[in-house]
A and B are shown apart, each in its own frame.
Chain A
Amino acid sequence: MTTTTLTIPRIFDRPRSASGIWSWIGTVDHKRIGTLYGITAFLWFLVGGIEALLIRTQLATADSTLIDPDTFNQLFTMHGTTMVFLVVMPLSASFFNWFVPLQIGARDVAFPRLNALSFWLFLFGGLLLNVGWFTGDSPSGGWFGYAPNSGITFNTGSGMTFWAIGLSVLGVASIAAGLNFVVTIFNMRAPGMTMFKLPVFTWMTLITSILLVLAIPVIGVALIQIGSDRLYGTNFYNSLGGGDPVLWQHMFWLFGHPEVYILILPAMGIVSEIIPTFSRKPLFGYPFVIFSGISIAFLGWFVWSHHMFTVGLGPAATSAFAISTMAIAIPTGVKILNWMATMVRGSIQINTPMLFAISFIAMFTIGGLSGVMHAAAPSDAQQQDTYFVVAHFHYVLFGGSLMGIFSGIYYWWPKMTGWMLNDKIGIVMWFFTLLGFNLQFAPLHWLGLDGMPRRIFTYSSDQGWESLNAIASVGGYIIALAILIFLFNIWYSRRNKVMAGNDPWNARTLEWSIPSPPPHFNFAEIPQVQYRDDFWYQKYPEQHEEGHVHAIAPSGAQDDDDMMFDPETGAAPSGGAEDGHHDDHGGHGIHLPDMSYYPIMLAAGITLGMGGLMAGNWVIVLGGVIGMWGLIGWSLEPVNDPAPDVEH
């Protein structure tokens, strides 16, 4: 790699430390970034969970005065916003970061510094969203921010403005991450790994990433518009000035429904890895599962108005959206049946990740069934904006996404840390999660059918909803207990380490072929892939229908051009993944990009620039200076700086 002659003066040296805080701030390693995503998102999960517990405590009894209505509105607004944008999406991103490169046999993502930028923007955007807890003025217009109630006339104060700009920052992070993984998956697969040999989790990551790239700009535009309605008195959605509040709903849900699949497809990918592993069978109907995922993502663009059946679109539009919504049940049903068929005639190991994965199928099915009910617009007119809907999407997002994510955490924990999470404690946690979850959310179906609207801070005893609400609240506390057990499990398992080895589960995909935790460079040699579930057939060559798998001779380090890429231009490994000609083995070592502090600078600059809209013009200027510095420094920074102490 030639060093560029054009450099700008550095204030700090390029970070090089392998440990300590600076090793995290400057990291461009996908695994470290994955860990940062995971830890940050888990902390937000605790915040969102506490918000949920406060909501449940308030609603446990009729006419409760524990929490005042304005605080309650802030709590449910931030619970929804937090769980969607700061928990489920980044927890998925944590897995994308950790395991997509490992599953495709790559040494990093295509744009490592862009990856770091995504994380820092996610962190800072989340902080912007939560500024309100310190100013006493958190967003209170709902995570859906319906105009004109979210407008400055009816929602004074700074909360919803911080909401709009915070989400905009998060949107930049998501678009960048989405692009990064699309490019990574298309270009950086190991030789021989054709698209139909990709692990399903990587496939679902690809589909999710494409959705991110296409859907986030929609909400990005809408957020800029609703933000300027609040900040500058524009009239995009402000009905008082002639704006159209229904247009906001179209924009929000045109993003919002693909977003639902952004939240669930990664979990579908996770369980599609775990169920085959613990059934000791390949995924049943791999192409059907892949195409189902693609059709879910595609159809997901044509259903947004089912969130708006009560808006008055007229019977023709309502009929069209009812049918398109029902159609999504078909690929979803196919997936469920394929997971079940994978288990049939398998050898099912019952342990924590598998129990969570099975629970994912079971609970997600319930959410899917109630989803079909919502597609029936006339009966949905009774259910819309009631607790039935709350039950439905918690069965999908908690029973689905979070069960899948916990399954993934238990499954991949040994790969990430090198040691196992205790399985007995894990099963206890699973038990309380499933119990608490169902106690919490099953009664909400009946509360909704009994006419309890969403987003109410209290209800009267004469409405008859007290006992089911009390049960639901108890369920909420049991979920909290399960999370405490999870934290205890981490603490306990860390003290009583059981080392994992490379492949503790006898798993099927490439990430299990390397040490746990993986070395910085992941693969000492880039693998040559012959089959789907390649690692499995390396271990059991006799099981492949096509006969023997030829053990791959150690090939030494790949030629630099084959496995490295240029983060400046995003150039793919020359030759591409499919060509299969990787015989020329170069002699020199593994090259990985050096650390960089420009991503965090650029992220800080963007965040300050956006936050300055509220904090004052000098903050915008400061953000601009830092951001431009970061951007210019970034663009002139070589992949590797010559230094006397190159680690590798």
Chain B
Amino acid sequence: MNSNLLPRFPLRRPLLVLIPAVAAFISACATGNPQDTFDTAGPVAEDQANLFKFIFWIAIVVFVIVEGGIIWITLRYRRRSDDEMPKQTHGNTKLELTWTFIPALIIIAIAIPTIRSIWDLAEPPSGEPVMTVEAVGHQWWFEFRYPEEEIVTANELRVPVGKNVIVKLQSQDVIHSFWVPKLFGKVDMIPTRNNELWFRADEAGEFFGQCAEFCGIAHALMRFRVIAQPEAEYDAWVAGMRRAPEPPAAASAEARGQTAFAANCSSCHSTDSYRPGAYERELVTQDGRWTGWLANIEGARIVSAPNLTNFGIRTTFAAGIRDLDRATLVEWIDDPGSIKPGTRMEAHAAVYQGGDGTANLTSAQVSDIADYLLSLVPGEAAPDDSANGSGDDSGGDPVELGQATFAANCTACHRTDSERLVGPGLAGVADRAGSRVSGLGVDEYIAQSIKEPNVYIVDGFPPGMSSFAHLSDAEINGLIAYLKTLN
């Protein structure tokens, strides 16, 4: 019925199949793009790529035979006259058994290296030095914890070149997947599970990572970097993360920014993971932010948020989707939702409520906060010197000292009015404290609550607060004096 079309098709058909195939094949060369799975930089990704290539070449052979066969058969046996009548052959058992066994042999050839690779990659090679980090998925950013170094940071995982790294994977909310294509294939971060993976970066560099499991509105914008550095540079980074930044000069933009940050941002963002004991406290606090959010999602004004300790040395922010520069940071602080739609920061933090979603701050304040954050780079001071904040606790007004201590240590969880954050609002605490526990006066109760907070828990709050016994007596007395002024 279409015999007039026949002569043209023998030429068209193979082209139609071949052109896309060839075009696709040509583009198969490694691209060098930042998430290229062939441009590997470590043994795990390399092993995975090699397995792929092995199967790929077998597949190419099968592809050429089958596709070539289809085209050849179609051309060779196309109908040349309408009254052709081929022999009605029904099959050939020998032939069919043969082509049942040949695929089986191919499958065995593929299965052997696959199984070997599965077991090889299950754990890092024994006997080699290994370090452990923890990665926690949050909607929509990655938290990184170094339990041995007591560092908490976000969205940039720094590792030494050449060292095997075990990453323990957790999630606080939904399922995410942890993936750095040039270093390792993905493993899911699942609440209720403790997955882990290992990798090693054999060359220094910045490697792109991205969440690979659909996790909600900003899934596409949940990225991160692995920064592999030579051991010495990595050690210097670790040491730096254990040191406080230089305090801003009085009346500088950074100082104003610090005040504005303390008032508007510090409920969710910690900046002090260099302090002794701060690591455990951050874990508890982060958990408290999360449970508080869950308990009252509609009204929550606190959410889990990246730790910003020594933020100024980061190369990217907003979960790896922006390079860290002042202009972008200002844009972000003013209206994070314009850069990352759906971000919890804009949806919940008090400073973004009540208006058009942008920060209820003057542009000068936004700019000051940006300056302050960029100034957060490791200072020269040895860690112990900064353990007690400014360290200047002799003389001066105890209420003023208490206010500063409160701003630096307590605002993540406590407000100074009666509204609940993670912990109770502290307005009028002096009136309540005296009667809370018989035998303890106001001052004793508050001091006790700071040093051993979980002995007496206020009803309805989780026992989440960690001890602040490391504060100096002057600071604790200052806090007591300050808290008693709150009504």
Contacts and interface: CB of A to CB of B under 8 A. Distances in A.
B77 A443 contact: no
A39 interface: no
Interface string B49-89: 10110011001001100110110011001111000111111
A350 B177 contact: no
B114 interface: yes
Interface stretch (B127-135, B185-193, B450-458, B459-467): B185-193
B77 A279 contact: yes
Contacts of A377: 114, 117-118
A154 B186 contact: no
Q: Is the interface of A mostly helix, strand, loop or mixed?
A: helix
B139 A369 contact: no
Nearest to A278: B79
Interface string B1-28: 1100110010010001100110110011
Interface in A410-469: 423-424, 427, 431, 434-435, 438-439, 442-443, 445-446, 449-460, 462-465, 468
Contacts of A449: 28, 36-38, 52
Interface string A146-184: 101100011100000000000000000000000000000
B205 interface: no
Complex A-B, nearest 10 residue pairs according to Cβ-Cβ distance, in ascending order: A451-B35, A381-B185, A464-B33, A456-B220, A438-B20, A285-B91, A379-B52, A347-B84, A333-B103, A312-B195
A221 to B, nearest CB: 20
A282 B35 contact: no
21 contacts: A73-B214, A142-B214, A148-B174, A240-B191, A240-B294, A280-B86, A285-B90, A322-B111, A343-B73, A345-B86, A350-B2, A376-B114, A378-B47, A381-B184, A445-B24, A451-B37, A451-B208, A452-B35, A453-B179, A453-B211, A457-B220
Interface stretch (A40-48, A382-390, A626-634): A382-390
A361 to B, nearest CB: 6
Interface of A: 68-70, 73, 142, 146, 148-149, 153-155, 239-240, 242, 244-246, 279-282, 284-288, 310-312, 314-315, 318-319, 322-323, 326-327, 329-330, 333-334, 336-338, 340-341, 343-351, 358, 361-362, 365-366, 369-370, 372-373, 375-386, 423-424, 427, 431, 434-435, 438-439, 442-443, 445-446, 449-460, 462-465, 468, 540, 543-545
Given A146-B175, A148-B175, A334-B100, A435 B16 contact: yes
A544 B21 CA distance: 41
Contacts, number: 329
Nearest to B185: A381
A351 B20 contact: no
Contacts of A281: 86-89
Given A148-B174, A286-B91, A341-B95, A451 B220 contact: no
A451 B181 contact: yes
Given A69-B341, A70-B217, A329-B103, A451 B110 contact: no
Given A149-B175, A379-B48, 14 more contacts: A146-B213, A154-B173, A310-B177, A311-B195, A330-B100, A336-B66, A340-B69, A343-B74, A348-B79, A365-B62, A375-B110, A378-B48, A378-B118, A459-B220
A350 B78 contact: yes
B56 A373 contact: yes
Nearest to A155: B216
B253 interface: no
B321 interface: yes
A379 B113 CA distance: 11
B117 A365 contact: no
Nearest to A328: B107
B121 interface: yes
Given A285-B92, A312-B190, A373-B59, A465 B33 contact: yes
B111 to A, nearest CB: 6
Contacts of A347: 77, 79-80, 84-86
A387 to B, nearest CB: 11
Given A329-B103, A348-B79, A312 B188 contact: yes
A378 B51 contact: yes
Contacts of B32: 464
A455 B214 contact: yes
B219 interface: yes
Q: Is the interface of B mostly helix, strand, loop or mixed?
A: mixed
Given A382-B45, A386-B212, A459-B220, A350 B6 contact: yes
A372 B59 contact: yes
Nearest to B191: A239
A102 B40 CA distance: 57
B63 A366 contact: yes
B34 interface: yes
A378 B69 CA distance: 31
B31 interface: yes
Given A311-B190, A350-B6, A465-B33, A345 B77 contact: yes
B185 A379 contact: yes
B34 A464 contact: yes
Contacts of B24: 438, 442-443, 445-446
Contacts of B179: 453
Contacts of A386: 212
B210 interface: yes
